[in-house]
Structure 1
């Protein structure tokens, strides 16, 4: 997983001035977390916090949040650090696979990043959440990439022109590829005039059935899945036109058990 810091730090340099701001997505994440935990949350751990936008919204709501990010994207969170919050906000620039934390959390969140590395990396992360991070009745809430949509995006390529007025200062290009054997997406970016220097992130995608198998033996169990507010009932056949057929990720809640 040597590519992680390089990819997110480099693309953060390209996009950080534009994207280190709070958006409706951050408020949706807070709303979903409060809904799934029935508002019984106080101490939150966020994995892969990126620019710190979602963490700031949680702290603004009165929660005590510790946000971990390995890449230089977290350097853009300075504007969040300088604000006063109803709760508290702590940023840690570190590898969350290696970090040792001093207390447990009633909620752990992992937005838009689960699947980095191998299946065993994911199981290791889930075991760490169960044994070290979560309180007895706590929840791990995370996004999972949906292979049914990523496979449709295979070979898609896009070129995005700089827009300095919005903070996008680089002309960049993107190509998506999907490996149907490993159910893995490859998302490659480069500065358009420097095609020889490309940066790729690769993330394992899991169908709900695959995720249920992955979780076995980790100390956690899946208790809920949804996509855009529509429940995923993994015990029955999905009805026609279900939202999972058109969304690139879905939301999962896990608890100790």
Structure 2
């Protein structure tokens, strides 16, 4: 049975080492799309944005360039350092980068929007509930919204046992990769392993192998989890369209919008 480890040390190792594999430069277009999603869902009056697990900062930069004041929070030093290099490009908005643990950091302010792209579910239910409580009680301003990507179980289940070799698809990628994927239908946890390959002989470079564990949620299960943190789900969609059975079978994640319960 696959279950995420109780502590987050694996996540720190995964994102720190993985941050040296991928620069994030190839994600500029996805960053712009995420900024557009914030503009569409938040409207013109919500301007202060917190992005948690912000990675290399591509989405945070695009959001700042759309006129928002963005705080980018990530615990991986390499990725946060890359994000800091973008700060001077943030006009007309502002970009502040914070390299701290999301469970313990004291940001000292509230935000109109809290966003988490491709990052919710890296712990067990207790960890994820703790993060939702932080969103509800520590970070959301009155009238604010949270926008989260939630990993869907069905595509991960379909990918169980996949073993594939991935070529570099961007000039900044340091290695070709061997990717292996597993999914446990009992715990709804995906195990996603990446191992660089030697350019000389194609062997796996095991000392650089990294693994992430992702807790996936069916929509009804996530709604219950969020509700227990005092958050109500006001919207669920995939690529801007309402959820459907067919889309949930194909999309790796779906988007939810949360508000503090009234």
**What's the TM-score, normalizing by structure 1?**
0.91
Question: For residues 220-256 of structure 1, what are the alpha-carbon distances to aligned partners after superposition, in whole Å with 9 as ceiling and x for unaligned?
Answer: 1111000122113xxxxx5x6x422211100000000
Q: Distance in 2 between matches of 1:222 and 1:7?
A: 30
Q: 1:49 and 1:160, CA in 2 relative to 1: closer, same or farther beyond 3 A? A: same
Q: Match of 2:22?
A: 15
Other-structure match for 1:254: 258
Deviation at 1:101, TM superposition (A): 1.2
Q: How many positions carry a matched residue from both structures?
A: 247
**Cα offset, 1:160, TM superposition:** 2.4
Structure 1: any 5+ residue segments left out of the alignment? 233-237
Match of 1:209 in 2: 220
TM-score, length-normalised on structure 2?
0.89
- The change in CA–CA distance for 1:41 and 1:161 in structure 2 (over 3 A counts) is same
Could you say which residue in structure 2 is the equivalent of 1:196?
A: 206
**Aligned partners of 2:156 and 2:252 also within 8 Å:** yes
Whether 1:226 and 2:229 are equivalent positions in the alignment is no
Q: Structure 1 residues 78, 65: closer, same or farther in 2, change over 3 A?
A: closer
- C-alpha change, 1:46 and 1:211, in structure 2 (3 Å) is same
CA contact (8 A) 2:84 2:97 kept: no
Q: Does 1:109 align with 2:115?
A: yes
1:108 and 1:140 in contact (8 A); partners too: yes
Equivalent residue of 2:86, what SS?
helix
Deviation at 1:116, TM superposition (A): 1.0
Judge conservation of contact 2:49–2:113 (CA < 8 Å) in 1.
yes
Deviations 1:72-95 (A, max 9, x none): 222222431232510110001110
The answer for unaligned runs of 5 or more in structure 2 is 1-7, 198-202
Question: Residue 235 of structure 1 corresponds to which residue in structure 2?
Answer: none
Query: 2:186 — aligned with what?
Result: 181
> What's the offset of the Cα at 1:169?
2.4
Aligned to 1:93: 99
Counterpart-to-counterpart distance in 1, 2:241 and 2:159: 23
Quickly say closer, same or farther: Cα 1:22–1:174, change in 2 above 3 A.
closer
CA-to-aligned-CA distance 1:46-95 (integer Å, 9 cap, x gap): 00010000010011111100001111222222431232510110001110
Whole-Å Cα distance in 1 between the matches of residues 167 and 210 of structure 2? 18
The CA RMSD measured in Å over matched residues stands at: 1.6
Deviations 1:166-202 (CA, angstroms, capped at 9, x unpaired): 1222232110111111001111011223453321000
Tell me the residue number matched to 1:80. 86
Paired with 1:106 and 1:77, the residues of 2 have a C-alpha distance of 21
